[in-house]
Amino acid sequence: MPEKIIVADNIVKTFDEGQPNEVRAVQSVSLCVFEGEIVAFRGPSGSGKTTLLSLLGCMCKPTSGEIIVCGERITKWSEHFLTMFRRKHIGFVFQNFNLIEHLTAYQNITVPAIPLGLSSREMKLRVHKWAQILRINHRLAFPINLLSGGEIQRVAIARALMAEPELIFADEPTAHLDTKLSNELIEIFSNLKDYGKTLLIATHDPIVYGSKIVSRIIDFRDGHIVESGA
Amino acid sequence: MSRWINILGFTTLLLKRYWRSTLSLIIVYSIIVFAFASVLMFIQSLSYEAGIVLRSLPEVWVQRVIGGRLLPIDNDLTAGLAKIRGVSCVHQRVWGYYFDEGTGGVFTIVGSDSIPDGLTIFAGKGLTSFDTAGVAVCGTGYLELHGVSIGSDIILTDTERHLRTLRITGVFTSSSDLITRDLIVVPYGEARRLLGIGNTSSTDISIDVTNPDEVETVVRKISQRIPNVRVVTREQLISTYQSLFGYRGSLFLFGLMISLLAFMILAWQKASGLSSKEQREIGIQKAVGWSIPDIMIQKFCEGTIISFNATLLGLIAAYCHVFFFGAPLLKPFLVGWSVVYPDFHLLSHLELSSIVLVFFLSVIPYLAATVIPSWKAAISDPSEIMHA
């Protein structure tokens, strides 16, 4: 029986609380994610999927409620400890890739490993390992502005894997990809599952949530979970 | 340690990315440091040299002033001055300035029957009391301007427009170019002829005082007993030089401080108004696991690399400008026209405190301008990058 890797209990996230422009992005959400699962958060733009990923990914703290990630109650932790925890356990693939311009693919992939204090040899080994799995090892020396959309996406995934996290969070990963590249990405995610990674994907792309690799779809609307099922 | 090395390597990468703008920033920064450090080094060296020059001066000297003009002083006063209590020694001095029409240089002619105190002969021989005319010991300025050497004859014009031929018997060397560069020492009789000073008078009379604490008393006695004279003390001259260098230097430094301030404001604005690209990059770094201290270390390294290199470059350029090339950009303003020609070389005198001051004024503000705004960006919520 797989272990629970994420547990969220009645979490709420309110922006600009008490102000006229107050927004309740996540409202009373409870869920759990098991090790090795690929969970898709499905919902329209503005439904709160990205905010929920940020909360579960220790990027920000909930206004109320409790979150447990990898067995740790992280809700009351300081920003510094959340960062330390995130760098070890969680990798992010952003909607807009968020790579650093004018650096090469190799240099971008190493960014999360820099504060870890890894030796250059260890970094090189890790970069080449994931670059080979993601089939971008021949493009490592290229600046990212010379790479195709699919290659850039794979560089972003390799960067998320650089610190060898158990959890991968992907926010609208196919937003800038065509159908062919989206299918390739699904294949990559499937490979990551084989490596024991747990994936949480926020998406409204049927190619992603309709694929066989997704263990569970959680429907999200107006900050609420509408439906959760396999 | 490897974390620091990794961050330093990453910082270098980021700087190399926009190497043109990084280089431009370092160059502009260096120019400002160069100007500031040049003035500082120049004033310091000049003050140091002035100290050496002034040490060789007598404690007190007496000049004749009529209607505000300096005139030769009667030698008869010597005996009266020697009788004043506290005076140990009295000398008649014959000296003056000589305009060399051929080169446009201004030289100092000093009458003496020996080598003046504090000066040494670099080559050849000095003067003796047996030399009464026809010989000279020169500073290197005269020799270089005329292309002559020891044993050569030089021709000077006296006040009656008669030509005087003098043989160079020696060349001066000194710890300071400022003392000997424009100097021509000739026998007393020759100096009197060249400067138009008769045998019964001198340029001024120097006085040595037995007890240095009694200088003021001796000065007061001279002023009370002898009319139409000006009594100058070494301390007065030291203070005048210090004020002069300080005044000119301060004016320059004030101007430079304004430039430095303007640069710092620009740097601050640039840094504080972190571009959206820089803010985004800080957000990315935070999102992928960089902590606030990690980002601070990176920005600190970035600021240090730029400010340290620019300051070092500026300091080296200033050192070369002042001590190797003779400060051609500053000399006309800080020294004055009368001693600009013949040229002189400044002593390489640089105090550690000045280097520390330049680094302090240059590096610290720049680091603050780099690190503080980045810290503001780094404390923002990393989840903002998710919505970017």
Residue A192 pLDDT level (bands cut at 50, 70, 90)? confident
Task: Render pLDDT for A8-53 as a digit per residue (tens, 0 to 9).
Answer: 999 999 988 888 888 888 999 999 999 999 999 998 888 888 899 9
Task: Render pLDDT for B36-55 as a digit per residue (tens, 0 to 9).
Answer: 888 888 888 877 777 777 77
pLDDT > 60? residue B251: yes
Cβ neighbourhood burial of B115 (10 Å; 0-12, 13-18, 19+)? middle
Phi, psi of B321 (to 5 degrees): -60, -45
What is the helix (H) or strand (E) element at residue B303, kind and residue range? Answer: helix B292-319
pLDDT at B113: 77
- Among the partner-chain residues B1, B284, B379, the one whose CB lies closest to the CB of A98 is B284
Q: What is the 3-state secondary structure (H, E, C) of B123-161?
A: EECCCCCCCCCCEEEECHHHHHHHCCCCCCEEEEECCCC
Residue B269 pLDDT level (bands cut at 50, 70, 90)? low
Residue B266 pLDDT level (bands cut at 50, 70, 90)? low
- Which two three-digit tokens encode residue A120? 């250059």
Is B386 in contact with A171 (Cβ distance < 8 A)? yes
Out of B48-62, B201-215, B247-261, B349-363, the most confident range is B201-215
Lowest mean pLDDT among A149-153, B49-53, B76-80, B128-132: B128-132
Structural domain ending residue among the three candidates B176, B201, B233: B233
Task: Render pLDDT for B321-369 as a digit per residue (tens, 0 to 9).
Answer: 988 888 888 777 666 544 445 556 677 777 888 888 888 888 888 888 8
Do B329 and B215 fall into the same domain?
Answer: no
Lowest mean pLDDT among A101-105, A164-168, B379-383: B379-383
Smallest Cα distance from B302 to chain A, Å: 16
Q: How far apart are CA B176 and CA B52, in angstroms?
A: 7
Strand A216-221 and strand A38-42: pairing? parallel
pLDDT > 80? residue A78: yes
pLDDT > 80? residue A230: no
Query: Could you tell me which residue, A123 or B134, shows the higher pLDDT?
Result: A123
Do B224 and B110 fall into the same domain?
Answer: yes
Do B271 and B329 fall into the same domain?
Answer: yes
Structural domain ending residue among the three candidates B211, B233, B255: B233
Task: Render pLDDT for A194-219 as a digit per residue (tens, 0 to 9).
Answer: 888 999 999 888 888 888 889 999 99
- Among the partner-chain residues A60, A86, A115, the one whose CB lies closest to the CB of B294 is A115
Angle at A102 between CA A57 and CA B288, to 5 degrees: 15
Query: Could you tell me which residue, B139 or B242, shows the higher pLDDT?
Result: B139
Is A111 in contact with B294 (Cβ distance < 8 A)? no
pLDDT at B171: 84
Is the Cβ–Cβ distance between B148 and B71 less than 8 Å?
Answer: no
Do B294 and B323 fall into the same domain?
Answer: yes
Considering the entire predicted model, what is its pTM?
0.73
Structural domain ending residue among the three candidates B233, B264, B282: B233
Q: What is the arithmetic mean of pLDDT over B186-203?
A: 90
Q: Which structural domain range is residue B367 located in?
A: 2-53+240-387
Task: Render pLDDT for B284-321 as a digit per residue (tens, 0 to 9).
Answer: 898 888 999 999 999 999 999 999 999 999 999 999 99
Cβ-based contacts of A99 with chain B (< 8 Å): 284
Average pLDDT, chain B: 81
pLDDT at A194: 86
- The DSSP code for B207 is E
Is B285 in contact with A111 (Cβ distance < 8 A)? yes
Q: How far apart are CA B161 and CA A47, in angstroms?
A: 104
Tally of domains within chain B: 2
Count of residues for chain A? 230
Is the Cβ–Cβ distance between B229 and B222 less than 8 Å?
Answer: yes
Chain centroid to Cα B345, Å, comes to 10
Is A98 in contact with B292 (Cβ distance < 8 A)? no
Is B286 in contact with A83 (Cβ distance < 8 A)? yes
Cβ neighbours of B228 (radius 10 Å): 11
Average pLDDT, chain A: 89
pLDDT at B337: 47
pLDDT > 50? residue A77: yes
- Which two three-digit tokens encode residue B64? 């004749």
Do B314 and B181 fall into the same domain?
Answer: no
Q: What is the arithmetic mean of pLDDT over B259-267?
A: 67
Q: What is the arithmetic mean of pLDDT over B169-189?
A: 78
- Which two three-digit tokens encode residue A88? 């070890």
Chain centroid to Cα A107, Å, comes to 20
- Judged by a CB distance cut-off of 8 A, whether residue A23 touches chain B is no
Do B68 and B46 fall into the same domain?
Answer: no
Residue at token pair 């260890």? A122
The DSSP string of B215-260 is HHHHHHHHHHHSTTEEEEEHHHHHHHHHHHHHHHHHHHHHHHHHHH
Do B48 and B62 fall into the same domain?
Answer: no
Is A112 in contact with B2 (Cβ distance < 8 A)? no
Angle at B184 between CA B66 and CA B58, to 5 degrees: 55
Q: What is the arithmetic mean of pLDDT over B188-201?
A: 90
pLDDT at B45: 82
Nearest alpha-carbon partner for B206 in B115, B82, B332, B23:
B82
- Judged by a CB distance cut-off of 8 A, whether residue B382 touches chain A is yes
Task: Render pLDDT for A63-72 as a digit per residue (tens, 0 to 9).
Answer: 999 999 999 9
Task: Render pLDDT for A178-191 as a digit per residue (tens, 0 to 9).
Answer: 888 888 888 888 88
Do B133 and B20 fall into the same domain?
Answer: no
Nearest alpha-carbon partner for A67 in A96, A20, A31:
A31
Do B43 and B64 fall into the same domain?
Answer: no
pLDDT > 80? residue B268: no
CA distances from B31 to A89, B42, B258, B319, B362 (A): 48, 16, 14, 13, 12
Phi, psi of B170 (to 5 degrees): -160, 165
Do B35 and B62 fall into the same domain?
Answer: no
The radius of gyration of chain A from alpha carbons, rounded to an integer in Å, stands at 17
Residue B12 pLDDT level (bands cut at 50, 70, 90)? very high
pLDDT at B131: 64
Q: How far apart are CA B304 and CA B300, in angstroms?
A: 6
- Judged by a CB distance cut-off of 8 A, whether residue B6 touches chain A is yes
Do B45 and B96 fall into the same domain?
Answer: no
Query: Could you tell me which residue, B119 or B34, shows the higher pLDDT?
Result: B34
Proportion of chain A in helix, strand, coil states, percent, rounded to 5 = 35, 30, 35
Cβ-based contacts of A59 with chain B (< 8 Å): 287, 381-383, 386
Do B226 and B246 fall into the same domain?
Answer: no
Is A98 in contact with B3 (Cβ distance < 8 A)? no
